[in-house]
Amino acid sequence: MTFHDERRAFWEERLDADWTETGVGYRALGRSFNEWMYRVRQEVFAERVGALAVDWSRARVLDVGSGTGFYVRAWQRLGAVAVTGCDLTEAAVVRLRERFPGLRFERVDIADPQGVFDEAEFDAVSCMDVLFHITDDERYAAAVKSIAHLVRSGGYFVFSENFLHRPAQRGVNQVNRPLEWITARLDEAGFDVVHRSPFLMLMNAQVDAGPVWRKLWGGLLRAVTLTEPTGWLAGAALYPLERHLVRTRMESPTTEIMICRRR
């Protein structure tokens, strides 16, 4: 079994066992806290993507790494009708087809899509909290180029990432890469960055913060989310502050949303 096959097997098992926002989110913090976190994500996505001068009801949209379909639904809330989804795992695709009858879902490795989609088929592509799970740098670059191949000239690529201002942090299932490295891959693929802002501030791992704050805040989050009731209370308490911070800060120590335009 290759390393890529192992990664796919990992996600097949994880999503087959837990097809919820917890399964695709920050699992250690529990379902209740993740639900509050995803409320913030939905609002930021709607505000940032909704601000683009696009009639989404006429657009063809692809969501890469659809998981539970959270961002498929987010596109629909923006008025998008022609939404296509794809995921690395069969576990997700089977359930997505049941949840969204009438929409197209394909099992695709975006780093090697093998002609499943046509060139310039879409007006916009989203890829939310997915790319940092591609741990091989060459496959990451290949994924960005594949997405560029699918977006028409003048179309948009919307994605979320941990854009570090420090050297890469490498783990078995996730690699957080420097902003400069990521933007270089985007430029090579033919994308121009038009927007970057916080997606979350405090409700996620502080991967781009100093080591003391990162450990202190991470330990506190895990402590207050040990049970579902305390996780719900912690999420409810942080939610209004998080909404304020993502709207008023320019940089985030955790996940940010970026919007690029295809040249």
- pLDDT tens profile 192-220: 999 999 999 999 999 999 999 999 999 99
Structurally, the chain folds into a number of domains equal to: 1
pLDDT tens, position by position, 222-249: 999 999 999 999 999 999 999 999 999 9
How far apart are the two ends of the chain, measured CA to CA in Å?
38
β-sheet bridge partners, residue 191: 262
Report the alpha-carbon angle 31-92-200, nearest 5: 45
Indicate whether 186 pLDDT > 80: yes
CB 137 within 8 Å of CB 107: no
Rounded distance, CA 196 to CA 251, Å? 8
Rounded distance, CA 190 to CA 153, Å? 9
Rounded distance, CA 125 to CA 113, Å? 14
Closest Cα partner for 115 from 140, 150, 161? 150
pLDDT tens, position by position, 28-40: 888 999 999 999 9
CATH number of the domain that 115 lies in? 3.40.50.150
Domain containing residue 36: 3-262
| E strand intervals along the chain | 60-64, 82-87, 104-107, 122-127, 151-161, 169-170, 175-176, 191-198, 256-262
Look at residue 200 in the predicted model and tell me its pLDDT.
98
Rounded distance, CA 241 to CA 225, Å? 18
Look at residue 11 in the predicted model and tell me its pLDDT.
58
Over range 139-164, report the average pLDDT.
98
Q: Which of 25-29, 173-177, 228-232, 253-257 is predicted with the least confidence, judged by mean pLDDT?
A: 25-29
Rounded distance, CA 218 to CA 212, Å? 10
Token reading at 207: 């991967």
Instruction: State what percent of residues in the chain have pLDDT above 70.
Output: 90
Token reading at 70: 């959270």
